[in-house]
Each structure stands twice: as C-alpha cells, then as structure tokens.
Structure 1
Amino acid sequence: MSETVDTKVATSPDDSNVPDQRAEALKAVLGGRDTSFYKGHYRRLTAIMFLILLSSMTNGFDGSMMNGLQTLDTWKSYFDNPRGATLALFNAIQTIGAASALPFAGYCSDILGRRTGIFVGCVLMCIGVAVQTAAQNMPMFIAARFFVGFGGTFGMLAAPGLATELAFPTHRAVITALYWTTSYLGGIAAAWTTYGTFRIPSTWSWRIPSVMQALPSVIQLVFIFMIPESPRWLVSKGRDEDALRVIGKYHCNGDTTDPLLHFEFSEIKEAIQFEKDCGQASWKSFFQTKGNRHRLAVVIAMGVFCQWSGSAVISYYLTLVLDGIGITSTKEQTLINGIIQIFQYVCGIAASLVVDRVGRPKMFLSSTSGMCVSFIAWTVCSAVYSKSATNLDATGTPIGANTSAGNAVLGFIFVYLFFYGIAFTPLVIAYPLEILPYGLRMKGMTIFQIALTGSALFNAYVNPIALDAIGWKFYICFCVWLAVEFTFCYFFILETKGNNGPLPLEEIVKLFDGTDAAEDFRNQVQTRIAVDTLVRQDDELASEKANAEHVEAV
C-alpha cells in the first residue's frame, strides 16, 4: 500500500509462464510514480477510505458494548439480571434486525448508490441508539437494538463495496482487508468506555456506552457528502462523465490527460459490459456456471465461518467464559475485554498489511489450523479447572480451584484470537468482495450477510444456553467445526494475488470460470483500450488541423 511501483512484469501464481498482462500494463501506466497512501493527493483518498471504514467500527462497538454491559451491576439490576434465553434475546434481537434489513439494503446500494446506502444506515443507526440510550424498560431496549441491527446492515453492505470500488488500484487489497479490522476500533472504544463508567452508581454507567455507539455514524453523516460515489456504480448507471470525474480527481489528482484515467475507465466499462452481456447480474447467475457456484460456496462459508469459529463466544459472552474460570469481578472482566479488543485490532492491522505478500490460502489454512489446536487446548484447560472447582463456599466461590488451569484458558484465548486474526479479520469480507464480479457484488454480499446473520442468530440463542447447561463441554463442538473449516479452505480457497500484488479481474475470472472466459474478457479490454487510443489520436489530429487552419486564416 505504500511502495513505489516498479515495472517488473507480474505473473500468475498458477502458471509462471503466463504474464500478468493487465498488471504489466498498469505498472507501465503508473510509470514508476510513488503511490504511497500517505503522500500527495493520495492522503485525501486515504482520509475518505477511513470515513467509509467507520461503518465497520459501528458493528464492532456493539459486540464489545454488550460484553461490557453484562459485567455492570447497574445494567443487570435494571433489567432484572437477564440469563439464558432472556440474555440471548438481548443479543439476538440485533441480529434479527440486521436480517430484516437484508431485502432492502442490497437494493438500496444497487439502485440508489453505495453512498446513499451508508447515509440511510447512519440515520437508522442514530435513531436506534437514541432509543437504546433512553430505554426505560426491557421492551424499549430490545426495540432499540432491533433498529441498531436494521440500520447497521445498510452500512455493512454498502461500505465495503464502496471501499473496494473507490480505492486506488495498488491500495485496494489492503483497504478492503482493513474494513473488518476496523470493527475492533469500535470494540476498543466500547470496552474502554465501559471500563471507565462501571464505577458510576447510576444507569449512566450503561447509558454512556450506549450513546457512544452512535459516534461513528454521526461522523459519517457530517462528512457524507465529501465521500464520492463509486465510479463502477456510476458507469453501471450510464453516468460515464461522473465516473471519469471521480477517477480523475481522486486517482489522478485532477489530471484529465493522465493515462491512468483512461486505463481504469476502460477496464471498468468493459468489465461491466462484459458481465451484462453474459447475464451476470441476476440471482440465478450464481447457479448457472461452475465458477459462480464456487463463488457462492465461498461467500456462504465466509459468513458462517466468521460466526461459528468460536469468536462469537468471546465477542458476546466473554463474561460467561470468564465466570467459568473463576474471573468474576467487574473490574477484571471489563479490563480483559478492553485488552482483547486492542490485541485483535493490532493483529488485524498486521495481517491486513501482508495479504498480498503471504497469499490467501496460506493465511486461511494457518488460521483454521491454529484456531483448532488452540481451541483444543482451551477446552482441555477448561475441563481441568471445572473439575477442580466443584467445592464452593457460602458465596459461591470455588475452594481449592486449579487457578493455573484457569489462567491457561485465558492465555489460550489470546492464542486463539491471534490465529483468528491471521485470516478471518482481514479476509472474511475482503475475499468475497474480490472474487465477486461487479454485477453480483451486492447480491453476493447480501448472501454473505444472510449466512452471517443466520449463524449469529443461532449463536445468540444457543451459546448462552449451552454455556449455562454444559459449560466447557460445549467447546468440543467448536474444535470439531474448526477441523471442518480447515478442510473447506484447503479445497475451496484459491489464490488471488500475483507476484506483484492482487491479480486483476480477468485473471480472477480465469481462476473461477476458466481460461476461455478470461481470454474473452482480456480481448475485449484490449480492444476497448485500442479504440480509445485511436479516438484520442483522431481528436488530437482534428484539433491540430483546426488550429493550423485558424492560423492560416489569420
């Protein structure tokens, strides 16, 4: 993301003798310019990317906040100490709200634009947070969380798509990987806000974290009209001049003669036209080709895996996990929650910066295998502690419990989170986005959200009930499931990076749809570039001829 582009020809990793033609052409167009994200006009685009990524911060805030609220005596007493199914409803209603928005959010982004989708989501989020903060009873709090989930879906669909489609070509992989990572920035804000308010002996101990949840949405609303619309969306709506203006301003520093402008526009134009010609814009397209069925399997898997890998237990029910190993004080639990959020954010950033160096399959396989091993160790240590903590005193505190085993559980939680952050933090959204063609991108992300919210809803109801009923034995399910995830990733995750960065669209098309589709796409792109070049040359000759005639006339 911050390196000077050289002119070395990239090659496809699955065939070192086949040159990455588009990457070679892009490097030639860039001409060795320094594309560091923090230099020159790229700083403005980087700031805009950060505004877009704030949508993910809102989502991360919610899970961490609910973890924190469950440790607060004021919150528990105000809502009559929710446990089991009641506690599940407090978390599940947000997921139900998110699922309810899916039929509308995708169409909003496709029809009205990515920026409009973010705007609508922010407005709904602010309404939900206002009601949540002012909640006077359980039904009011639950209704508010429904709106929080409903509004969040609009942003969760629109923002990553806009970031992918607006980012500078050499920044795109890292920017997209940072989207999910930014959710931990919200988690940090929520966790440490709760840690700072738990001493307040009134309902403001939980109302302050609640109102803070609106902060990312408020920032986005203030600056929403500084965020340009996706040039790909503009082209898809026939607004070519607007698309050229966006690319020229944010990628070429306003230089309309920059060859990069015409290169990017030609690629976008041809890609969208090619997808329309192939009919790749309808829901049934996911089932019509082997490549699209492969994409569909990956998209669904990513939505399920990010919820069923065990992370949701930590995200929403860390209090129950810590109670199970003898860490019961509010101060310790809120402190651990805060440290976990910082740890995950650092791991996510580090992983995001190396996605184009390490490669997708290696990251997913390292992540799933590491999570499986660490979860097994977590489970064993939990069992040892549980068996040693059967004798309780009058206050319910274990007598003679194996504290070393309990501390080991906490250590393995951090080991597990490290491996989770290797792939699932940076790639769980970035990978589906880069393998989905434009015409199927919002539809694919809607399917991703359906899989994610369905899995999250299952977690919200099952996790607290299972943890209460069978304790550490519930962890065995995750150990087995993580082995399933490893197997899936081994067979289904394809490499989408080249030797010098992400593979271009036509190379990804070849990976998923075969060489013929890639060759057809490449020929059309080259034809369009050649035609555009001839048209520009004709315009220049006509202009020179007109100037010469004008001079002669004078």
Structure 2
Amino acid sequence: MADTSVTKGHFKVCGREFPNVTWYKLPHLRRTYFLLFFVILTSATNGYDGSMVNGLLSLDQFTDYMKDPSGSIKGLFSGIMFLGSLLALPITPYIADGMGRRWGICIGSIIMIFAVVLQSASVNFQMFVAARFFLGFGVAIAHGSAPLLITELCHPQHRAIFTTIYNTTWYIGSIVAAWLTYGTNRIPNQWSWRIPSIVQALPSILQISCVWFVPESPRWYISKGKPERALAVLAKVHAEDNADDEVVQLEYEEVKETIMIEKEAESTGWLELFKTKGNRHRLLILLSAGLFSQWSGNGLVSYYITGVLDSIGIKDPDMQLKINGVLNIWNCIVATTMCFFVDKLGRRPLFLVSTAGMCGCFVIWTICSERFAATGVKANGSAVVFMIFLYYTFYNIAWSGLLVGYTVEILPFSIRAKGMCYMFAFVDIALFFNTYINPIALDHIHWKYYIVYCVWLAVELVFVWFYYIETKNTPLEEICKHFDGDAALVGGAAATEKGRILEHEIHEKEHKHGTTQVTEEHVESKI
C-alpha cells in the first residue's frame, strides 16, 4: 500500500514532498485551467439534456405537439439517448487513444451539434427521438476523452479537485435548462420548446472553438513516441516553461518509464481488466460506480420529477419548474463544494457517508409518500419535497463528482480509456433501464416503487464498504500500488520491484539498439 501521508501545505511526487503552488499566480497554469473549463462543458451538456427533458415534459406546448405521450413513450423519449451512448462506447477509446484526447472531444461535439439541429427542427416525435439517439452517440465520444485530458494534464496538486469538478458541472447545464424552460413556458407556441433545444448546441460550439487552445495530454504524447512534446507541455503547464524544474523532471521520468513498461507488458486490451486480481478489483469498482451513480433513485428526479411531484399533489407546471430549478442550484452548490474535500477527507469516507445518507433519506421519502397517498395530507407531500433535497445533498457528497474523479484515477494509462468505457457503459445501461421503466412503474404502482430503491441502496452501502479503497494524496502513476502492490507497473523513482525488472529489460534493449531514439521506436512497435 502506497504511503498517502502528506504534510499540510505540500503535495507529493515520487515519494517526495514539494510546497504547494498557487495556480492563479502562475500565468500558464491559470490559462490552462481557464481553457479546461471548456473541456468540462462535456458534462454540462449531459446535465442540460436531463433537465431539459424534465422541463419539456412539463410544458403543455410540447406534450400537445407530441400528442401527449404515455409513460412508455416518455421512457423511449429519454432512454434513446443512452442507447446511442451505449452503441458509441466501443469506438470511443480508439478515438481517444489513437487520435488524441482533443480530437475525441471535437468529434463528439460535431455529432452533438448535428443532433441538436435535427432535434430543434423536428416536425414529429419520431424525428425528435432520432435526434436524441445521435445526441447520445456524440456525448459518449466526448465523454470518453474529456476526463482523460483533465486528469492527465492537471498539476499533481490540483488533479483530484479538478477531475472531481468535471462531473459536477452536470448541474451547471441542468440549472440553465431548468430556468430556461421555466422562462419559455410563457411562450404560447412551439418556440417554448424549440428554444431550449437550440441552446443545447452552445456548449458543443464553445468546445470546438476552444479545445485546440488546450495542450494535449503529455501522457498521450509519450505513448505516441513524442517525449519531447510531453516534456514541453509538462514544463509549460506545471512550471512556467522551466523544463529543469524538479517536479517536472520527476513527473516526466515517472510517466515515461511507466508508459514504456505498460507497453512492454502489453497490458492494453479490452480483456486486461479481467486478467489480474488488481484489475478485477478495478473492474468491480468501475461497473458498480456506473450502476450505483444512476440506479440509486436519483433517476426518478433527474428525468421524471413531474411524475414524482404529481404523485404528492404538486401538479402545477409553474411550481414543478420552480422546484426543479431550485433543486439544481442546490445540487450544484453542494457537489462543487465537496470537490475541495476529496483529498482532505478521502474518497472512501465520502462514498460511505453519501450512500448511507441516501438510504436513510429514501426510507423516509417512501414513508411520507405512502402517508400522502393514504391520507392526502399536504404536509406529507411537503415532507417528500424536503427529503428530495436532503437525499440529493447526500448524493452530491460523493456520487456526483467522484463518479469520474475516482474511476479515472484508479486506471493505469494503458487501459484508462477502455476502463472508462466499462464504467460509462453501466451508466448508460442503468439510465436506459431507469428512463424506460421509471415512468411505467410510477404510473402503475406509484409510491410502492420506491421500496425497490430502499433495498437497493442498502446493498450499495455494503458493497462500497467492502470494495472501495482509499487513494487520496497519491500521484496518478502510483495509484496502481493500492491495487497491485509490488506487481504494479510503475517506473521512475517510485518503481516497484516488477517495474524495476521491466525497466531494466527495456534499458537492456535500449543498449542493444544503441540509442534512445531506436529504443522508443522499438517499444512503440510493440503496442
């Protein structure tokens, strides 16, 4: 197990501590973080869509135009996007690893813009559903690259916070969509729903315009045999163009040696996550995180708050839109705040508190819903609204930001893109199931459906207790020691025994070929 102790005011690289840096005082780092905001917009696009669906289903103008869709049709309306995402996942790692992280974001954004044009111009329900399929396809490709670029580019001191923030921006998009649909509700024609649909293209347009100003991942450059470019990026972003900076040199050597060792071990395939005990542990976390993040009852509110509020007597569309808008603002505040505690409190405590709190809240939520159904007392309905807010407070302690922040960091570079696809696949499977089943279940068994989530949340809590491990204050390349121990493939000054053996073999080949350049070509040829 790697040592995670860090003196206050310091961060750790290769087992050595260095004084904290103030990012806003360093021009290159400040500029990079500003530009990374546009990379983060991938998650905001997803959040916008979820809230927009809620909003559109609350608009009489939209439901009338779409001929008042039933519960199963509503499920298809929402779920088709996740089916599109699921079908795109097999190609996303090849784009991210083959063409680069920035190209992945750009290609995904182009597809999303095409989908938004089709969606905004829809003349019938079938056309709208087809557009949402392509929207999901584009989101998956962009999602497959954006968090990788963030975690591989950020300064070691800020990586955990920045990567965790990535998924919390879901709520920024959600807030914009919630209040935009609230405003357009007053437009007495089709523009009340076409305007929110058109605005959905804005994040993708900004990404295409700005992503090329963001430096490419230095780890990707090294994997493609371009170490000089990697060193230049690390020096510019982490040390204001000082390639001789000690932190930069330690990072560079560790990343270069680790990636070369991973290539030498040929640990890059889809089945790699099944081959070793450490990778199987990672896979359990990836699959469970994807499932738990969406199948914990949050899908009821994220996509079908109208049905939940209808069941407790709140049927006024204006009031439903207000509750949706305020809830998303609260969610954004809590989720963003918790990002700054991931290295202070640790991942495991946050996951445990979050899951236990959700379970408790859902039990009370279910009881209050039953009491309202039995008595019709308005106070019970108000209690449900309060419990929804409290439930989301606990949800956002961990499952919002750490869904990506935790899963992306536990994966070695060689399988990072493919590993994230496993996680996103289970996100999409859970969402597709939820968005199709939730409205049908709510229509037929009402509050009794909540009992399923009460039981499931208890199962989640047990699973998290046994399988989620702590990784705080550990450099990205060294996190594999938590899972693989001495068998971890780590190079540089932090190399494990297995890493040193493979490193020695690589240097032997390097000696036989005469020059470092030949060795890099030799290693790259083994990908």
Distance 1:445 1:68 in 2: 30
Deviations 1:36-71 (A, max 9, x none): 346543211210221110111000000000000010
CA distance in 2, matches of 1:519, 1:101: 32
Q: Which residue of 2 aligns with 1:44?
A: 31
Mapped contact 2:255–2:491 kept (Cα < 8 A): no
Q: CA 1:33–1:173 in structure 2 vs 1: closer, same or farther (change >3 Å)? A: closer
How far residue 99 of structure 1 moved from its aligned partner, in angstroms, is: 1.0
| Partner deviation per Cα, 1:479-521 (whole Å, 9 max, x = no partner) | 0000011001000010001xxxx21246422221123537877
Aligned residue number for residue 7 of structure 1: none
Distance 1:40 1:92 in 2: 43
Q: Distance in 2 between matches of 1:329 and 1:229?
A: 49
Distance 1:21 1:466, change over 3 A: closer
Aligned residue number for residue 257 of structure 1: 244
Determine helix, strand or coil for the equivalent of 1:496: coil
- Does the CA-based 8 Å contact 2:117-2:198 persist in structure 1? yes
- Give the Cα–Cα distance (whole angstroms) in 1 for the partners of residues 466 and 445 of structure 2: 34
Residue 424 (1) aligns with residue 399 (2): yes
The answer for the alignment partner of 2:70 in structure 1 is 83
Residue aligning to 1:113? 100
The answer as to 2:335 corresponding to 1:348 is yes
Find out whether 1:166 has 2:153 as its counterpart. yes
Q: Is the 8 A contact 1:131 1:140 kept in 2?
A: yes
User: What displacement does 1:344 show?
Assistant: 0.7
Tell me which residue corresponds to 1:286. 273
2:510 aligns to what? none
Which deviates more from structure 2 when the two are superposed, residues 125-134 or residues 261-270?
261-270
Give the structure 2 partner of residue 188 of structure 1: 175
Q: Deviations over 1:9-53 (max 9, x none)?
A: x9436x99xxx98454251xxxx3633346543211210221110
| Partner of residue 197, structure 1 | 184
Look up the match of 2:89. 102
For 2:337 and 2:20, locate their aligned partners in 1 and report how far apart those are by CA, in whole Å: 25
Q: 1:219 to 1:268 in 2, by over 3 A?
A: same
Contact preservation (8 Å) 1:177, 1:430 = yes
Unaligned 5+ residue runs, structure 1?
1-9, 389-400, 532-554
2:398 and 2:488 map into 1 onto residues whose CA distance is 29
> 1:472 matched to which residue of 2?
447
- Mapped to 2, the partners of 1:348 and 1:511 lie a distance apart of 26
Distance 1:167 1:136 in 2: 44
Q: Is the 8 Å Cα contact of residues 13 and 251 (structure 2) preserved in structure 1? A: no
Counterpart of 1:494 in structure 2 is 469
- Answer yes or no: is 1:380 the counterpart of 2:367: yes
Q: Give the counterpart of 1:503 among 452, 455, 474.
A: 474
In 2: Cα distance, 1:463 partner to 1:425 partner: 21
Per the alignment, residue 55 of structure 1 pairs with 42
Displacement of 1:450 = 1.1
Kept in 2, the 8 Å contact 1:368–1:419? The answer is yes
Is the contact made by 1:295 and 1:436 (CA closer than 8 Å) also made in structure 2? yes
Select which of 513, 517, 523 maps to 2:484.
Answer: 513
Q: In structure 2, how many angstroms separate the alpha carbons of the residues matched to 1:318 and 1:154? A: 28
* 2:23 alignment partner, SS class: coil
Q: Secondary structure at the match of 2:156?
A: coil
Aligned twin of 1:358: 345
Summarize deviations over 1:166-218 as a string: whole Å, max 9, x none.
Answer: 11111100000001101100001100101111010000000111011111111
Deviates more, 1:271-280 or 1:94-103: 271-280
Equivalents in 2 of 1:241, 1:494: separation in Å?
35
Residue 171 (structure 2) pairs with residue 179 (structure 1): no
CA contact (8 A) 2:119 2:197 kept: yes
CA distance in 1, matches of 2:141, 2:96: 8
- Cα distance in 2 for partners of 1:519, 1:120 equals 32
Report the Cα distance in structure 2 between the residues aligned to 1:21 and 1:92, rounded to whole angstroms.
43
Cα deviation, 1:232-276, whole Å, max 9, x if unaligned, reads: 111001011211221122222122332333222111101111222
Give yes or no for contact 2:179–2:325 (8 Å, CA) kept in 1.
yes
**Mapped partners of 2:129, 2:25: distance in 1:** 43
Is 1:67 the counterpart of 2:54? The answer is: yes
Give the 3 Å change call, closer, same or farther, for CA 320–124 of structure 1 in structure 2. Answer: same
User: What residue in structure 2 maps to residue 143 of structure 1?
Assistant: 130
AA aligned to 1:457 is: F
Distance 1:487 1:33, change over 3 A: closer
2:113 aligned residue: 126
Output the amino acid matched with 1:120. Answer: I
Contact 2:148 2:417 (C-alpha < 8 Å) held by counterparts = yes
2:80–2:129 contact (8 Å) kept in structure 1:
yes
CA distance in 2, matches of 1:202, 1:464: 26
Q: TM-score, normalised by structure 2?
A: 0.91
Give the aligned CA root-mean-square deviation in angstroms.
2.1
Which residue of the partner structure matches residue 484 of structure 1? 459
Deviation readout 1:74-123 (Å, 9 max, x if unpaired): 00000011121111110011111111111222211111111000000110
Q: Structure 1 residues 258 and 514, CA, compared in 2 at 3 Å: closer, same or farther? A: closer
User: Structure 1 residues 407, 230: CA separation in 2 closer, same or farther (over 3 Å shift)?
Assistant: same
- Once the two structures are overlaid, the 10-residue window that deviates more, 116-125 or 215-224, is 215-224
Match of 2:144, SS state, is: helix
The residue type paired with residue 431 of structure 1 is: Y
Describe the shift of the 1:294–1:262 C-alpha distance in structure 2 as closer, same or farther (beyond 3 A): same
Contact 1:191 1:337 in 2 (8 A): yes
Q: For 1:323, give the aligned amino acid.
A: D
Q: SS in structure 2 opposite 1:514?
A: helix
Take 2:97 and 2:155, find their aligned partners in 1: how far apart are those partners? 21
Match of 2:300 in 1: 313
Separation (CA, whole Å) in 2 of partners of 1:145 and 1:470? 28
Which residue of the partner structure matches residue 524 of structure 2?
none
1:283, CA displacement in angstroms? 1.7
For 1:487 and 1:224, locate their aligned partners in 2 and report how far apart those are by CA, in whole Å: 41
Q: Which runs of 5+ in 2 are unaligned?
A: 508-527
Deviation at 1:470, TM superposition (A): 0.2
CA distance in 2 between counterparts of 1:53 and 1:520 reads 30
Per-residue CA deviations over 1:146-171 (Å, capped at 9, x if unaligned) read 11111111111110011000111111
Asked if the contact 1:23–1:503 (Cα under 8 Å) also holds between the matched residues in 2, the reply is no
Q: Which residue matches 2:521?
A: none
1:426-477 CA-to-partner distances (Å, cap 9, x unmatched) read: 1011111111000110010111111111111111111000000000000000
Structure 2 residue identity aligned to 1:121: G
Show the 5 A alignment for 1:367-446. 367-388=354-375, 401-446=376-421
Does residue 12 of structure 2 align to residue 12 of structure 1? no
Alpha carbons of 1:443 and 1:132: their partners in 2 closer, same or farther (altered >3 Å)? Answer: same
Which structure has the bigger radius of gyration? 1
Counterpart contact for 1:247–1:261, Cα < 8 Å: yes
Identity rate, percent? 44
Specify the SS of the correspondent of 1:238: coil
Q: Secondary structure at the match of 1:201?
A: coil
Tell me the secondary structure at the aligned position of residue 456 of structure 1: helix
Which amino acid is the alignment partner of residue 474 of structure 2? L
| Counterpart contact for 1:299–1:447, Cα < 8 Å | yes
1:455 aligned partner, one-letter code = A
